[in-house]
Amino acid sequence: MNELSDLTESPAMPVVRRALGVAWWILIAALVTPVLLIAGLFVTYQVEQATPEDYPRATPEAMGDRAAGLSQEAYEVLGFDRAVPPGVVEPGLGTENSFSTADCYPGGLEGMADEPVAGAYRLSHNWELGQVPEREAVPGLRRLHDHLRETGWDITEYRELASDREWWLRAKRDGHAGDERLNFSWRASTQRFKGGSTVPCAHDPAGEKDGGSVEEVQPPELR
């Protein structure tokens, strides 16, 4: 009888019970945590979806002026002495000067739906100049690189004489309404210089999806 009592009151029994209790709570946590996580993500998604994107209201004309202004400043630093008129002149050889737009997508979980924000657009100014020799392109890119760095731009990519003898310069500058981007390239084989600027997303007051009225906006001449 004493032996049975000793076995029943064994010191190991409380340890076993505690271990079983811990295992039980671990099992509950393993089952409940994913459910809570999914519920939290769902609530966050609903809140983000109900909150409109904080884009400024601006016409394509206004955003076009802003983008073209960035390009004009860069063009002056590059030091090219030829004018770049609006439109396309002699494709592949002459010049190009145009606007384009892209959709805007929300950030956070809402962006996972891959649905553009209605009535919002992001405008870019694109230009090209043909028959640019190395003696003009290379010093110009180096000057522009230094100028952008000195005026608060972050240089995101700068390549000199890559394997295909192509030069790249990309920069970004953050602002309260989004980031501005610049990109430039020159290829020795074609002697063609390309430049571009992109401004932050904006809501078109006219309600046009994807900045539809941008087709009516003409960029100014670069010089």
**Mean pLDDT, consecutive 10-residue segments, the chain of 223 residues?**
50 65 76 62 45 80 96 98 90 86 78 77 96 95 98 95 81 87 95 97 76 73 95
Q: What is the pLDDT of residue 143?
A: 98
Q: How far is CA 145 from CA 27, 36, 88, 97, in A?
A: 58, 50, 27, 22
Closest to 214 in 3D by CA, of 119, 99, 51: 99
Residue 50, amino acid: A
Closest to 170 in 3D by CA, of 190, 153, 151: 153
Cα–Cα dist 49/57, whole Å: 19
63, 126, 140, 176: CA torsion to nearest 10: 30
Q: What is the pLDDT of residue 22?
A: 72
Model pTM score: 0.73
Q: What is the pLDDT of residue 215?
A: 67
Closest to 192 in 3D by CA, of 181, 202, 182, 184: 184
Q: What is the pLDDT of residue 28?
A: 79
